[in-house]
């Protein structure tokens, strides 16, 4: 099988993820961009070296790992490039929890940076921010796209989700590397598949709900069971516990009903 350059990079980085032993795992994506993750948190953290200093995206490795994260960053930048800015893909605590720590060490939160292009969408939260590091052709998209869990399009509804994904797909090119809020990095082809499967999930839930099926009945539908597995990228045996599965169905129904009001 012939791999594209972006696919080869993604395969190499994701393979390295499987062998993480240290508290903070650092994997270079390009000379400019490094992906960081902690053993205490699934949040993908971006480290970008820019002309204005080091920029961090979503620096939340878990409360106990903040000092270790800072030490790791300093070792990677040889302590010569200061941590100037912190950017967040959205306001949830698993992405913003490290802000105050880095502010105490001199960083400024959510200030524009000339090397990073900002896009605003509305899907996972009321204010989702997508950051494009054009020099490296790398996109940080937050929880609009999650390769470790089911989609969470609860705030923007179907329209917001579709618009958000379409916006991301129009940034960069087919070689663009996409860093989700959690999980393995991906490319445009995987994002299109995610969009297709999400819309298929919504459509099937809507059809079953309209026919009067209960949450429990929907959860046993063969098509629903097949669709939920589309999001199980790591092929986990127990990907989605029953309680979380039922909650996802209920929240999907809620989104569908809310969309019909407008």
252, part of any domain? no
CA–CA separation, 131 vs 119, rounded Å? 6
Contact 145, 223 (CB under 8 A): no
CA–CA separation, 131 vs 219, rounded Å? 36
In 134-204, beta strands by DSSP E: 138-142, 177-180
157, part of any domain? yes
Does position 221 have pLDDT exceeding 90, yes or no? yes
Burial (0-12, 13-18, 19+ Cβ within 10 Å), 30: middle
227, part of any domain? no
Q: Looking at residue 155, which CATH number applies to its domain?
A: 3.60.15.10
Q: Which two tokens stand for residue 168?
A: 């991301």
For the chain, the C-alpha Rg in angstroms (whole number) is 19
User: Domain total for the chain?
Assistant: 1
148, part of any domain? yes
Find all residues with CB under 8 Å of 107, minimum gap 6, and list them.
56, 83, 84, 85, 86
Q: Which two tokens stand for residue 259?
A: 């969309």
Q: What angle do CA 203, 209, 212 make, to 5 degrees?
A: 150
Q: Give tens-digit pLDDT for 87-112.
A: 999 999 999 999 999 999 999 999 88
Contact 230, 196 (CB under 8 A): no
203, part of any domain? no
Does position 132 have pLDDT exceeding 90, yes or no? yes
Find all residues with CB under 8 Å of 180, minimum gap 6, and list them.
44, 141, 142, 143, 145, 146, 147, 148, 186
Global confidence as pTM: 0.90
Confidence of residue 25 (pLDDT cuts 50, 70, 90): very high
71, part of any domain? yes
**If phi over 0 gives left and psi between -120 and 50 gives alpha, with beta otherwise, what is residue 53?**
left
pLDDT at 260: 80
pLDDT at 77: 83
218, part of any domain? no
**Domain interval for residue 47:** 5-188
Least confident of 18-27, 151-160, 230-239: 18-27
Q: Percent of the chain having pLDDT more than 70?
A: 90
Confidence of residue 154 (pLDDT cuts 50, 70, 90): very high
85, part of any domain? yes
């Amino acid at each position: 099988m012939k791999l594209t350059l972006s696919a080869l990079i993604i395969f190499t980085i994701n393979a390295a993820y499987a062998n993480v032993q240290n508290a903070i795992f650092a994997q270079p994506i390009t000379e400019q961009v490094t992906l960081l993750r902690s053993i205490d948190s699934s949040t993908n953290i971006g480290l970008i070296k820019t002309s204005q200093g080091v920029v961090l995206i979503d620096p939340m490795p878990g409360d106990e790992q903040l000092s270790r994260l800072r030490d790791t960053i300093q070792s990677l930048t040889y302590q010569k490039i200061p941590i100037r800015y912190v950017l967040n893909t959205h306001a949830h605590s698993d992405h913003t929890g490290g802000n105050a720590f880095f502010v105490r060490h001199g960083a400024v939160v959510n200030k524009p940076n000339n090397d990073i292009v900002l896009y605003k969408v509305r899907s996972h939260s009321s204010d989702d921010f997508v950051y494009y590091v054009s020099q490296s052709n790398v996109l940080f998209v937050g929880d609009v796209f999650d390769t470790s869990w089911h989609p969470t399009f609860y705030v923007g509804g179907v329209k917001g989700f579709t618009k958000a994904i379409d916006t991301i797909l129009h940034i960069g090119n087919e070689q663009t590397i996409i860093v989700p809020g959690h999980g393995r990095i991906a490319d445009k082809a995987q994002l299109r598949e995610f969009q297709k499967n999400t819309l298929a999930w919504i459509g099937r839930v809507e059809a079953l709900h309209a026919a009067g099926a209960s949450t429990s009945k929907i959860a046993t539908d063969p098509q629903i069971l097949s669709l939920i597995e589309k999001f199980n990228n790591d092929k986990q045996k127990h990907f989605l516990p029953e309680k979380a599965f039922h909650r996802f169905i209920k929240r999907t129904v809620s989104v569908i009903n809310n969309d019909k009001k407008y």
